[in-house]
Structures are given as C-alpha cells and as structure tokens.
Amino acid sequence: MTEPRLEARPAPAGTVAVALFCHGGTAASVEPPRERALSLVRMRAVEQFVSAAAAGGGLSTYLLRYRVAGWNGPAADAHADVRWSLDRLRAEHGTVPIILVGHSMGGRAVLRAGGEPQVTAVCALAPWTPSGEPVDHLRGRTVAILHGRGDRWVPAALSADFARRAQHAGARVARFTVAGGHGMIRRAHVWHTFVRDVVLAGAGLAPTRPDIAAALQQAGAAALAVEL
C-alpha cells in the first residue's frame, strides 16, 4: 500500500461533523495490516455502532487503513497516516468539527494529532502512551480516555501518567477505567457507548454525558481514575 486508505460511511443528508477511527497495530512492522486483524475488526465494530447511533444527524465516519502495521520509532507511521487523513477530510468537508478515535497504537496516533485544526475531541481507548509522549499540543483540547484495568499489553498506568501530564499542560482530560483487558471485548457495550457519547458530544449532536462532563470539569487525580 503506497498511501493510507479511508473507508467512508458518509452522512446521507450532508455532513455537519466527521469522526475518524484508527485501529491498533504493533511497535515495529513495515508489513500492511492484516485484513482480519482483531484490532481492525474491533475498531470497525465501534465505528459501525457510532455511525448507526448518529443516523440522520449529519455525522460522517471514516475508518483509517494504515500503510503499514507498525509505529516504527521516529517514523511514527500511524501518526503520519492520521495527519494525511485529516488533510483529506478538511479538503472534502471544509471546516466541520472532527473527532478522533483511536485504540492502542491508534490511540497514540490520535493523541499526537489532537492539536490539529478542527479537532474538537480525542477519544483514546487503551492508548499506548510511552513515557515522554508529548502533551503540550493538547492545551485547551478535550481528551477522553478509557482503559481496561486488567490490560496486560498496554498497562493502564501508562495512560494514567499521560492523562496527568496532559491535564497539567492545560488539556481538559477525563480518564475512565473498566474491567477487562486490551481487546475491548469484555464489557464491549461499555466501550462502544463511551465512544458514541464522546463523538456525539464532540460533534455537537448531543450534550456531554454527565459523568464525562463532571470528570472534564475536575482537576487532579479524581478526574483521571473514574471506574465504569
């Protein structure tokens, strides 16, 4: 694959907001993502759930298909692909709000891109956020994080540290944890509805869910360790 690809689910009666969904990957690989990779299958399910929930509301959804499966160190290939996608979404839809949703490596990629123009909210699911991951660009942005407390692939402590640093840098952060691991399979409905509610609020199609709104308004540890 020479460039990324976007699987589009356009709003039937015109687009008032866009949500971009970015699946997980691996630390290092220059091979294309597998068509049946669990990370891709799970993110497609989330995207379809959100699209159905927003039916008739003017939300167009896009699933990003990366060029390669890996982050690949300084190349940060997934982040580069998200930026490529944002350029094309802005060219197609103009100045509509854009909400970014990413899982694992995709969570890292969308958090990196959270300071891009028109991004109104970032929803990071079990994001892979190594120590030192940048946060200053998120100042003034809305960031919602959900992480499994039993995650063995990407420990929840990583997103807790990231959330603290991002909040200190001036981001509006709400971080929640849920029973289960990395694959978003256990209590799948909790993952799906969390994303739906963050996306619809970021798109201006629904009010912010009360528990998310309360967490965003708080500062400190209480806002970053809410259990669902």
pLDDT tens-place values along the chain, 228 residues long: 578 999 999 998 899 999 999 999 999 999 988 888 888 999 999 999 999 999 889 999 999 999 999 999 999 999 999 999 999 999 999 999 999 999 999 999 999 999 999 999 999 999 999 999 999 999 999 999 999 999 999 999 999 999 999 999 999 999 999 999 999 998 999 999 999 999 999 999 999 999 999 999 887 665 667 788
Residues in contact with 52: Cβ distance below 8 Å, sequence separation at least 6, in sequence order: none
- Tell me yes or no: is domain 5-227 CATH 3.40.50.1820: yes
Question: What per-residue confidence (pLDDT) applies to 151?
Answer: 92
Report how far Cα 20 is from the mean position of its chain's Cα atoms.
8
**pTM as predicted:** 0.95
Report how far Cα 182 is from the mean position of its chain's Cα atoms.
14
β-strand 5-9 against 142-148: which pairing, if any? unpaired
- Joined together, the tokens standing for residue 13 give 């009666």
3-state secondary structure of 147: strand
Q: Is 64 exposed, middle or buried (0-12, 13-18, 19+ CB in 10 A)?
A: buried
Question: What per-residue confidence (pLDDT) applies to 98?
Answer: 98
Where residue 62 falls (left for φ over 0; alpha for ψ -120 to 50; beta otherwise) is: beta
Question: What per-residue confidence (pLDDT) applies to 198?
Answer: 98
List the domain boundaries for the chain: 5-227
